[in-house]
Structure formats: structure tokens, C-alpha cells
């Protein structure tokens, strides 16, 4: 089987797997990185949201064969430094999670949204928050929105 080399959470990894296997299964089943969750597997629910070179992506839709050695994948496991990322801390402060299944993806999507708004020199708007499409079966959306605003203000 072909080998694929890329970076995950700051470290280079090489996996020996068919080109068409989606990144989500490489992360979870081959590398043991289970923060990105398997919800739909068809690029809809966004439970698997992670970062690829700083952009929010859904690894259930990315064939591992598309990754290059310089590509940097960041999962929720790689978000914190020595302390929690401000968005993670805001999640705790606002007691967002219910079952928790969707929450890694929610946080990873929120971080990219907040970074984008900051780069544009503006605060997050309701329209920004409305644009997030990560599904939460537990209906924690009001707390998610409060936490995103709080986390973004600390970034």
C-alpha cells in the first residue's frame, strides 16, 4: 500500500494506507487521534471538523492521498498550548457541552471563524455565527454562541 506523509499536531507522521481512505479514519483508527468525531461520514454534520493549514475542514471528506508532506493537520488535541486555548476556556466557562459529541468540531470551527474576524479587524456578528453549520443534536446552540463571542474576545 502507498505511504502518505503529512503533519499532525506539530509532528510528522507517515501512514501506509490506500489513497482513497479518508483522513478521519486515518486519524482515528491508524493514529489513535479520536478528538475528531465520526457523525455522518459524508461531509454534512461537521462533528469531525479539524484544521488543515489553518482552515476548517471535514476530514471525513478528504482522501489521505491528497495530503502533502508540508500539510499541517490540527485536531482538538493540538489546539491548546501550555494552557487551554481561549476558545476551550470559554467553553468551560459557559458550560457548553451536553453529551459532548459535537463539541470538538464546534470549537475547531469557532476558532477559525474568530481568527478570520480578527484578521479583518472586526468583532463577530450574528451573521458570522449563523454561518456555522456544525450540528448539535443536544441543542446547545445558545451556549455555543455565547462561548464563541467570549472566546473570540480573548483571542
8, 23, 47, 148: which one contacts ligand FES (CB under 6 A)? 47
89 binds ligand FES (CB under 6 A): no
Q: How do beta strands 50-52 and 72-74 pair? A: antiparallel
By CB under 6 A, residue 17 contacts ligand FES: no
**Can you tell me the distance from the alpha carbon of 93 to that of 46, in angstroms, rounded to the nearest whole number?**
23
Contact 8, 73 (CB under 8 A): yes
Distance in Å, CB of 123 to ligand FES, minimum: 25
- Does residue 34 interact with ligand FES by CB under 6 A? no
SS3 content of the chain, % helix, strand, coil (to 5): 40, 15, 45
Angle among Cα 149, 71, 113 to the nearest 5 degrees reads: 15
> How far is it, in rounded angstroms, from Cα 86 to Cα 67?
29
Instruction: Give, as ranges, the residues between 103 and 122 that touch ligand FES (CB under 6 A).
Output: 103
Is residue 23 near ligand FES by the rule CB under 6 A?
no
Binding test (CB under 6 A) with ligand FES, winner from 15, 27, 33, 39:
39
User: Does position 101 bind ligand FES by CB under 6 A?
Assistant: yes
Report the interface residues with ligand FES, using CB under 6 A.
38-41, 43-48, 58, 60, 97-103, 136-138, 140
Amino acid at each position: 500500500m502507498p505511504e502518505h506523509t503529512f503533519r499532525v499536531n506539530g509532528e510528522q507522521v507517515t501512514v501506509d494506507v490506500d489513497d482513497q481512505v479518508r483522513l478521519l479514519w486515518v486519524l482515528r483508527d491508524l493514529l489513535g487521534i479520536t478528538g475528531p468525531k465520526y457523525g455522518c461520514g459524508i461531509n454534512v454534520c461537521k462533528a469531525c471538523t479539524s484544521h488543515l493549514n489553518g482552515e476548517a475542514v471535514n476530514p471525513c471528506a478528504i482522501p489521505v492521498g491528497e495530503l502533502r508532506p508540508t500539510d499541517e493537520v490540527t485536531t482538538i488535541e493540538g489546539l491548546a498550548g501550555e494552557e487551554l486555548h481561549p476558545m476551550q476556556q470559554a467553553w468551560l466557562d459557559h458550560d457548553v457541552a451536553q453529551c459532548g459529541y459535537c463539541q470538538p468540531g464546534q470549537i475547531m470551527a469557532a476558532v477559525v471563524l474568530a481568527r478570520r474576524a480578527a484578521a479583518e479587524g472586526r468583532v463577530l456578528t450574528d451573521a458570522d455565527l449563523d454561518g456555522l453549520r456544525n450540528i448539535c443534536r443536544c441543542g446547545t446552540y445558545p451556549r455555543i454562541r455565547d462561548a464563541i463571542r467570549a472566546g473570540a474576545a480573548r483571542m
